[in-house]
């Protein structure tokens, strides 16, 4: 069978697939600087006789599955939530689709904690002052920008899934209290990270740091409302490294501008990359709110070499299971397997 890998993939995993008799073509979109969409992908699959497709950002819509019916036999997505793959269309033509849950859990978790530290210690402000040669005195850092530690603070984690759990794990022994909003998490999992379950309004009111790690589902879309953001302490920080669909982004921006919260960190946005017309530009250098405590990431949460290694290992295990006639552990459309 022939495998086309367009996702970044670790060479050890590529070699393992080859050792198991697969013909592997590796064309990472990061290296060839190309993403396949629609007819382009159909042509590639049909002309190169691809049986198994491993993707990250390419778009697999209904057209792709219909026009490769009988040829494409398996799709593995190097993503936790492959919104770029039409699972329903894949199921209709009998193509199993698997994902790689938790591939970037540690990476996103550590970025979230890094943003927390930046906000709490004004590291981004300090960096800018030194690099712009404006560090002329120490008084501002001893007064206005004196930081805080995690000691005796309450960290509120919205969803204790793959990423939220990694955040909680890393905060053990940091002398902070962890509270969690997650209606589905088990008591055993909460206990393993010394966390307490609370309702969302309580989490928003009591937390010194709110960090969002929920998946995008019908029940989570718009979950963090303006009203909930208004419940936060004036000294609290809000961090979103999850998805913008979960939060009222404008409400967070407004709360920071009006100093109703102490700061915010973002790694995801409603529109990416940020263009000239966006409501974050007031925080940019030279903007009217450039002095506010805000940290911006360029959607880099999962972008570590470690996450590539992890996703490669997860996907390789699933493909090899499929080749043996076993159900892939991360199969998304179970009905295909049960037919």
List, for residues 104-139, the tens digit of each pLDDT value.
899 999 999 999 999 999 999 999 999 999 999 999
Is it the case that residue 36 has pLDDT exceeding 80?
A: yes
Residue 175's alpha-carbon distances to 109, 151, 170, 209, in angstroms, are: 18, 5, 12, 14
Q: Is the pLDDT of residue 276 over 80?
A: no
What pLDDT digit, counting tens, does each position of 174-217 carry? 999 999 999 999 999 999 999 999 999 999 999 999 999 998 88
pLDDT of residue 153: 98
- 276 and 313 together in one domain: no
**Whether pTM exceeds 0.85:** yes
Tell me which H or E stretch contains 180: strand 177-181
Are 135 and 70 in a shared domain? no
Which pLDDT band holds residue 272 (cuts at 50, 70, 90)?
confident
pLDDT of residue 25: 96
pLDDT exceeds 70 at position 278: yes
pLDDT at position 311 over 70: yes
- 321 and 193 co-located in one domain: no
At residue 338, does pLDDT exceed 80? no
Buried b (16+ CB within 10 A) or exposed e, 14-45: bebbeeeebebebebbeeeeeebeeeebbebb
Tokens found for residue 33:
């600087």
Q: Give percent above pLDDT 90 in the chain.
A: 86
Q: How far is Cα 317 from Cα 130, in angstroms, rounded to an integer?
A: 48
Are 170 and 204 found together in one domain? yes
Q: Find the CATH number of the domain harbouring 110.
A: 3.40.50.720
Asked if 158 and 239 sit in the same domain, the reply is yes
Examine the pLDDT at 277 and tell me if it is beyond 80.
no
Q: What is the pLDDT of residue 279?
A: 85
Same domain? For 190 and 235 the reply is yes
Tens digit of each residue's pLDDT (9 = 90 or more) over 10-21: 999 999 999 999
The yes-or-no verdict on residue 339 having pLDDT over 80 is no
305-323 helix and 11-19 helix, angle to the nearest 10 degrees: 10
Q: Determine what percent of the chain is predicted with pLDDT higher than 70.
A: 100
Quick: pLDDT tens for 228-271: 999 999 999 999 999 999 999 999 999 999 999 999 999 999 88
Do 121 and 170 reside in the same domain of the chain?
yes
Could you tell me which residues are beta bridge partners of residue 26? 5
Q: Is the pLDDT of residue 102 over 90?
A: no
**How confident is the prediction for the chain on average, in pLDDT?**
94
The pLDDT value recorded for residue 316 is: 97
Same domain, residue pair 139 and 268: yes
Q: Which pLDDT score, from 0 to 100, does residue 37 have?
A: 87
pLDDT at 264: 98
Q: Which residues of 185-224 are buried (b: 16+ CB within 10 A; e: fewer)?
A: beeebbeebebebbebeebbbbbbbbbbbbbeeeebeebb
Determine the structural domain holding residue 7 and report its residue range.
2-101+304-337
Q: In terms of domains, do 278 and 197 share one?
A: yes
Residues ≥6 apart with Cβ < 8 Å to 131: none
How many structural domains compose the chain? Answer: 2
Query: Do 38 and 56 fall into the same domain?
Result: yes
Query: Are 284 and 264 in the same domain?
Result: yes
Instruction: Verify that 158 and 272 share a domain, yes or no.
Output: yes
């Amino acid at each position: 069978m022939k495998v086309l890998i367009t996702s970044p993939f670790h060479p050890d995993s590529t070699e393992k697939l080859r050792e198991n008799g697969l013909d592997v073509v590796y064309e990472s979109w990061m290296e060839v600087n190309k993403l396949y969409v629609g007819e382009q992908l159909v042509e590639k699959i049909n002309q190169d006789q691809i049986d198994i497709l491993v993707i990250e950002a390419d778009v697999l819509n209904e057209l792709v599955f219909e026009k490769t019916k009988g040829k494409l036999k398996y799709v593995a997505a190097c993503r936790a939530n492959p919104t770029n793959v039409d699972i329903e269309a894949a199921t209709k033509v009998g193509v199993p689709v698997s994902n790689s849950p938790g591939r970037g859990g540690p990476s996103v978790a550590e970025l979230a904690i890094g943003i927390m530290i930046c906000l709490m210690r004004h590291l981004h402000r300090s960096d800018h002052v030194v690099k712009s040669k404006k560090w002329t005195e120490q008084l501002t850092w001893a007064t206005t920008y004196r930081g805080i530690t995690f000691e005796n603070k309450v960290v509120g984690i919205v969803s204790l899934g793959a990423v939220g759990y990694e955040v909680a794990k890393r905060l053990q022994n940091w002398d902070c209290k962890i509270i969690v909003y997650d209606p589905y998490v088990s008591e055993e999992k909460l206990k393993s990270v010394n966390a307490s379950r609370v309702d969302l309004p309580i989490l928003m009111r009591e937390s010194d740091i709110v960090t969002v790690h929920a998946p995008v589902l019908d029940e989570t879309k718009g979950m963090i409302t303006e009203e909930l953001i208004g419940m936060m302490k004036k000294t609290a920080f809000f961090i979103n490294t999850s998805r913008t669909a979960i939060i009222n982004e404008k409400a967070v921006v407004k709360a920071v501008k009006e100093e109703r919260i102490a700061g915010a960190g973002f790694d995801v946005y409603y529109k990416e990359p940020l263009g000239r017309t966006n409501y974050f530009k007031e925080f940019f250098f030279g903007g009217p709110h450039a002095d506010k405590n805000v940290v911006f990431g360029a959607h880099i949460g999962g972008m570590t070499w470690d996450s590539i290694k992890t996703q490669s290992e997860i996907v390789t295990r699933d493909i090899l299971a499929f080749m043996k006639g076993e159900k892939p552990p991360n199969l998304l459309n179970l009905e295909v397997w049960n037919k």
